Amino acid sequence: MTLTGKDLISTKDLTREDYEYIFEITKRIEGRNAQGLTHVLPDRIIALLFFEPSTRTRLSFSTAVKRLGGETIGFSGEEATSIMKGENLADTIRVVEQYADAIVIRHPLDGSAKYAAQVANIPVINAGSGAEEHPTQALLDLYTILREKGTIDELTIGLIGDLRYSRTVHSLLYALTNFDVTVYLISPPLLKLGESIKGHLHEKGVHFKEFDNLADCISELDVLYVTRIQRERFVHPEEYLKVKDSYKINMKTLSNAKENLIVMHPLPRVGEISHEVDNTSHAVYFKQVRYGLYVRMAILSMIFGREDRITG
Amino acid sequence: MEQKLKIDKIRDGTVIDHIPAGRALIVLKILGISGRESNVITVAMNVKSKKFGKKDIIKIENRELTMEEVNKIALIAPSATINIIRDFNVIEKRKVKVPETIYNLIKCPNPRCISNKENEPITPIFHLKSESPLTLVCNYCGEIIPSDWVVKSLTRGL
Ligand SMILES: [Zn+2]
């Protein structure tokens, strides 16, 4: 299997073999603690096009490129907003590809990364497209599970929060269809997973169950994946506050959990997980960030066919 | 007594038969036929039909439509049959079939889809997911498009 010259747009495009190979390369990078690898991409320039603010994902990609010896160009924030107003996406891509060897794109519209990849002649990595997908986040989530639990198969994985609009949840679910897992979907009725993704899970034979309350299934979980519930999804503020409180993870919520349950979060969090959880062995969300760096380094080296430069 | 169809047989061209009643105008729109062409086009609507009760028929003289052109109408007239006529004889009779990929015909119902972005030189593309019930998937955002949206989208402006 090879990612050389390919785009990474959706976790739907990856097979079990692909995941295993990506994790193998990631493990090599982790083994070296991401050090001494600046000989991997010393002659490569990566464009980071962030049409939507995302400090964390941008920092992660930017660090990954630099740890591999590459350079970055690009824009974000206000500059991105003014580019978006003045020029269509196709033109921006055609200009940027004259300078860079690969593009990492974050864009607020659904399907934007796929379209960018269609326009571009260089590899495109999706760093978050609309409410739709965020494949590198899903890859680092899976790698976290693998490293912390020793396996992905045979686990019971709970996803809680905004399942309707969270692109990380969507990409993670598509990815999980390649593994033998049981998925519990825990959310308020308003934020339940969309029908089209549920249809996809059915088609792929994934065992999943929906819950309104975490208390009804917490004792069965090996992994709890927490996402942010956003105020703007609710028409009435009181409804938001009610939901927000009932989905908060704290020591009390975790009292019935398995001792080796891991709690994950794509970050940033705004009170979904109480700080008292941070110092328990359940909390792996900061480790996730570190694994994310390794995973993104693996993907970047692979799209240039340079993974053989990373020796274990 | 069977009502006699009050339009003549054509010598050469294409007859699209068994169009669901009332959809002939949408079919013409999909085919890009505006009436500004020089050839004779006959449209019959609400014609009695044994099979459907009522149906529409379109006769296009001196033009043989290709299956590629005509398959697009399967989106709203899956029962339609295409008859290619030469010298008053039907030389080819075929059913329409929804194409695997549909370009530039329907708008994505997802307002947050890149294909709905203004000033973007993007061709809306849909892939056929299931023929019955008709289900399309947006190439870009993955949104699943039910058949009633397809009809709504195609009848806009009629
Ligand atoms: Zn779309």
Lookup result for tokens 């979907």: A185
Q: Which of A217, A83, A181, A62 is nearest to A125 (CA)?
A: A62
Distance from CA of B26 to the nearest CA of A (A): 28
Map tokens 């009050």 to a residue: B6
Residue ranges of alpha helices (H) inside A68-119 are: 77-86, 89-96, 112-119
The pLDDT, as a whole number, for residue B2 is 47
Q: Of chain A residues 101-120, which have a CB less than 8 A from chain B? A: 107-112, 114-115
Overall size of chain A counted in residues:
312
In this structure, is residue B3 part of a structural domain?
no
pLDDT of residue A236: 84
Lowest mean pLDDT among A125-129, B32-36, B56-60: B32-36
User: Is A134 noted as a catalytic residue in this protein?
Assistant: yes
Same domain, B30 and B78: yes
Test the A interface: residue of B141, B144, B149 with most A CBs within 10 Å: B141
Name the domain boundary from B45, B74, B95: B95
The interface pTM score, or ipTM, of the predicted complex is: 0.91
Residue B27 lies in a domain: yes
Q: Which of B113, B119, B142 sits opposite A196 (nearest CB)?
A: B142
- B88 lies in a domain? yes
Residue B5 lies in a domain: no
B4 has a pLDDT exceeding 70: no
Could you tell me the distance, in angstroms and rounded to a whole number, from the CA of residue A182 to the centre of ligand 1? Answer: 30
Indicate whether B25 and B86 sit together in one domain: yes
Q: Which domains does chain A have, with CATH numbers?
A: 11-133+292-309 (3.40.50.1370), 135-289 (3.40.50.1370)
Of the candidates A90, A120, A83, which has an alpha carbon nearest to the alpha carbon of residue A102?
A: A120
Facing A90 at nearest CB: one of B121, B143, B144: B121
B75/B61 same-domain check? yes
Q: Does residue B6 lie in a domain region?
A: no
Alpha-carbon gap: B138 to the closest alpha carbon of chain A (Å): 9
Q: Does A88 touch chain B (CB under 8 A)?
A: yes
Comparing C-alpha atoms, which of B81, B75, B74, B19 is closest to residue B47? B19
**Residue B1 confidence (pLDDT):** 43
Are B116 and B138 contained in the same domain?
Answer: yes
Phi, psi of A185, rounded to the nearest 5 degrees:
-105, 110
Q: Which residues of A touch B110 (CB under 8 A)?
A: 110
Chain A residues in contact with B115 (beta carbon < 8 A): 111, 115
Instruction: Give residue B7's pLDDT band: very low, low, confident or very high (50, 70, 90).
Output: low
- Residue B5 is predicted with a pLDDT of 53
Q: Give yes or no: residues B106 and B82 share one domain.
A: no
Residues B43 and B89 in one domain: yes
From first to last of its 312 residues, chain A has per-residue pLDDT tens of 689 999 999 999 999 999 999 999 999 999 999 999 999 999 999 999 999 988 999 999 999 999 999 999 999 988 888 888 889 999 999 999 999 999 999 999 999 999 999 999 999 999 999 999 999 999 999 999 999 999 999 999 999 999 998 999 999 999 999 999 999 999 999 899 998 899 999 999 999 999 999 999 999 999 999 999 888 777 788 888 888 887 899 999 999 999 999 999 999 998 899 999 999 999 999 999 999 999 999 999 999 999 999 997
Residues B18 and B88 placed together within one structural domain of the fold: yes
Cβ within 8 Å of residue A9, ≥6 positions away: A113, A114, A117, A124, A126, A129, A133, A135
Q: Are residues B91 and B124 in the same domain?
A: no
Q: What CATH number corresponds to the domain at position B48?
A: 3.30.70.140
Residue B4 inside a domain? The answer is no
CATH number, domain containing residue B127 = 2.30.30.20
In a domain, B2, yes or no: no
B83 and B111 share one domain: no
User: Are residue B69 and residue B44 in the same domain, yes or no?
Assistant: yes
The residue among B101, B110, B114, B123 with the most chain A CBs within 10 A of its CB, best to mutate, is: B114
- What's the total number of domains in chain B? 2
Residues B144-156 have pLDDT tens digits of: 998 889 988 888 7
User: B142 and A110: CB-CB below 8 Å?
Assistant: yes
- B29 with B89, same domain: the answer is yes
Indicate yes or no: CB of A196 within 8 angstroms of CB of B143: yes
| Cβ contacts of B112 on chain A, cutoff 8 Å | 108-110, 130-131
Vertex A26 angle, CA A42 and A226, to 5°: 120
Q: Which one of the listed residues A134, A167, A170, A228 is annotated catalytic? A: A134
Q: Are residues B90 and B130 in the same domain?
A: no
B132 in a structural domain = yes
User: Both tokens of residue A113?
Assistant: 């990364």
Residue B68 pLDDT > 90: no
- Its domain, for residue B83, covers 13-95
Nearest chain A residue to B140 by CA: give it.
Answer: A111
